[in-house]
């Protein structure tokens, strides 16, 4: 596709498969879904960008669950791969926002693309739009999606449309259900749709060969979703009760009177995980901050953790944790204590009883709420090494693939698979501290 812009600027883009279908589609809700690396986000960004160039005066929105994740991912792709020429020529200009107006890209023909996150929806939800693109849409709740739909009433395009791009998730996800029910149109994206990885004759590019080597290393449910593009649940899933629609909550101001805790699982080649938990007055636990990083020394993690909690003056930024609950390695604990400047205590590591305690907390109680939550955006920074090899980079990402080990002979599994379980271990330590701590270890004899 070659599109002339103002004067002599030109945009070149080769949409294939689902990407080409996206440019033709006029339905009110469209989802482009498929494996990692199929060019879904790029297609949607070009769709919005070209609509803004060719339809003077329209208003569009690019949104993710959090504004921070949007700026570090989607907008980088927009500026480097989609709008680079128009930005360089001044056809498109960035506006950083004001007390009255959200950040946006302003086009010389009067069109505007507003950008923002649903974690701070005030400005983006106060305006009206013709076209909306939600990237990584599985992060959104259905309420988010339907709320955005109420803003599609600007009327400058003959068609008003919501576009979502995503990798497959669990088969019960609201996006999948919505498409199955005919309320949204799903376009299935495949690797052959991406010219960067697959040539027109079906052969792989050099970049594609490197990328597919990484996808081939995936296992379990992550392979099914990210390589094969299947809306799949993990076989032998341990925490079947975990439901993103129930257990993931938007960031909120944590009351200072809530107790705070830290849970730690050590690692180096495998990630080291530090989790911050808040406990409300009814005993519910909220994972509100997380460091999850491979190839980082304990002293580095501890120094970063302390900086997150304590000002250089020594004054605490937030309530001091009641305890730091750790894996048992004596040397790592000593190093953590030295640089964190706090004492630690060994975790209750009984696996079976700990898992049962977590499962109990994940169940929805009589008041309609579970007793354990994960706050969206809890991860302080992503580990690019883990992203590069397509491994989970947070506890939230681990839970959908945390499975029982398969035992020879088909006997019932008794232990989890020791793979991609570092955040799950720390989570179990935290729950065991609150629910199993101080309990006598009893053995029943029949």
Q: CATH number for the 2-214 domain, one of 3.40.50.300, 3.65.10.10, 3.20.20.80, 3.40.800.20? A: 3.40.50.300
Lowest-pLDDT choice from 34-43, 84-93, 211-220, 331-340: 211-220
CATH 3.30.420.280 residue ranges for the chain: 244-435
Q: Residue 61 is encoded by which pair of tokens?
A: 């929105």
Q: Mean pLDDT throughout 184-213?
A: 92
Q: State pLDDT tens for residues 100-156.
A: 889 999 999 999 999 999 988 888 999 999 999 999 999 998 999 999 999 999 999
Q: What whole-number distance in Å separates Cα of residue 47 and Cα of residue 24?
A: 10
pLDDT tier at 53 (50, 70, 90 boundaries)? very high
Residue 414 backbone phi and psi in degrees, to 5: -120, -10
In percent, the amount of the chain with pLDDT more than 90 equals 70
Residue 408 above 80 pLDDT? no
Residue 387 above 90 pLDDT? no
Residue 446 above 60 pLDDT? no
Q: Is 433 helix (H, G, I), strand (E, B) or coil?
A: helix
Q: Mean pLDDT throughout 20-40?
A: 95
Q: Is 344 helix (H, G, I), strand (E, B) or coil?
A: coil
Q: What whole-number distance in Å separates Cα of residue 258 and Cα of residue 4?
A: 58
Provide the 10 A C-beta neighbour count for residue 337. 16
Q: State pLDDT tens for residues 331-370.
A: 999 999 999 999 999 999 999 999 999 999 999 988 889 9
What was the pLDDT predicted at 191? Answer: 94
CATH 3.40.50.300 residue ranges for the chain: 2-214
Q: State pLDDT tens for residues 266-310.
A: 999 999 999 999 999 999 999 999 999 999 999 999 999 999 999
Angle 351-362/422-435 helices, nearest 10 degrees? 80
Q: Mean pLDDT throughout 32-36?
A: 95
Residue 444 above 50 pLDDT? no
What was the pLDDT predicted at 397? Answer: 87
What was the pLDDT predicted at 9? Answer: 55
Angle 298-309/330-340 helices, nearest 10 degrees? 40
What was the pLDDT predicted at 442? Answer: 35
pTM of the prediction? 0.69
Name the architecture of domain 244-435: 2-Layer Sandwich (3.30)
Residue 11 above 80 pLDDT? no
CA atoms within 13 A on the CB side of 139: 20
Q: State pLDDT tens for residues 63-93.
A: 999 888 898 899 999 999 999 999 999 999 9
What was the pLDDT predicted at 253? Answer: 95
Highest mean pLDDT of the ranges 27-31, 68-72, 211-215: 27-31
What was the pLDDT predicted at 306? Answer: 98
Buried b / exposed e along 80-116 (16+ C-beta atoms within 10 A): eebbeebbeeebbeeeeeeeeebbbbebebebbbbbb
Closest CA to 163 of 43, 4, 336: 43
What was the pLDDT predicted at 443? Answer: 31
Residue 6 above 60 pLDDT? no
What was the pLDDT predicted at 359? Answer: 96
Whether 392 and 302 have beta carbons less than 8 Å apart is answered as no
């Amino acid at each position: 596709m070659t599109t002339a812009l103002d004067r002599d600027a030109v945009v070149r883009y080769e949409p294939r498969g689902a990407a080409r279908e996206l440019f033709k589609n006029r339905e009110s809700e469209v989802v482009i879904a498929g494996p990692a690396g199929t060019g879904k986000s790029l297609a949607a960004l070009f769709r919005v960008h070209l609509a803004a160039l060719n339809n003077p005066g329209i208003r569009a929105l690019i949104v993710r669950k959090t504004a921070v994740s949007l700026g570090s991912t989607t907008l980088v792709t927009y500026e480097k791969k989609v709008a680079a020429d128009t930005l360089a020529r001044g056809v498109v200009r960035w506006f950083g926002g004001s007390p009255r107006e959200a950040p946006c890209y302003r086009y010389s023909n009067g069109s505007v693309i507003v950008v923002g996150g649903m974690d701070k929806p005030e400005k983006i939800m106060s305006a009206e739009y013709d076209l909306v693109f939600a990237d990584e849409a599985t992060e959104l709740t259905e309420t988010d999606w339907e709320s955005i739909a109420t803003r599609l009433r600007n009327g400058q395009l003959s068609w008003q449309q919501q576009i979502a791009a995503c990798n497959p998730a669990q088969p019960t996800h609201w996006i999948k259900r919505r498409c199955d029910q005919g309320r949204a149109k799903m376009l299935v994206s495949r690797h052959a749709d991406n010219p960067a990885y697959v040539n027109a004759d079906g052969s792989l590019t050099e970049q594609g060969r490197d990328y597919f080597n990484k996808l081939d290393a995936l296992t379990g449910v992550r392979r099914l979703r990210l390589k094969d593009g299947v809306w799949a649940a993990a076989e032998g899933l341990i925490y079947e009760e975990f439901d993103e629609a129930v257990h993931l909550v938007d960031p909120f101001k944590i009351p200072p009177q809530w107790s705070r805790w830290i849970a730690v699982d050590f690692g180096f080649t495998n990630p080291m995980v530090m989790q911050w938990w808040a406990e409300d007055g009814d005993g519910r636990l909220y994972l509100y901050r997380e460091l999850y990083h491979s190839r980082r020394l304990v002293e580095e993690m501890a120094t970063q953790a302390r900086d997150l909690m304590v000002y250089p003056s020594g004054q605490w930024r937030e309530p001091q944790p009641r305890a730091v609950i750790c894996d048992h390695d004596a040397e790592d604990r000593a190093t953590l204590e030295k640089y964190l400047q706090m004492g630690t205590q060994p975790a209750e590591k009984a696996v079976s009883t700990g898992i049962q305690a977590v499962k109990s907390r994940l169940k929805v109680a009589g008041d309609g709420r579970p007793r354990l939550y994960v706050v969206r955006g809890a991860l302080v920074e992503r580990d690019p090494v883990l992203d590069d090899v397509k491994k989970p980079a947070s506890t939230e990402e681990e839970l959908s693939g945390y499975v029982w080990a398969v035992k020879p002979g088909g006997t019932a599994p008794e232990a989890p698979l020791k793979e991609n379980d570092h955040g799950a271990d720390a989570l179990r330590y935290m729950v065991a501290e609150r629910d199993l701590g101080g309990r006598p270890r009893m053995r029943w004899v029949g």
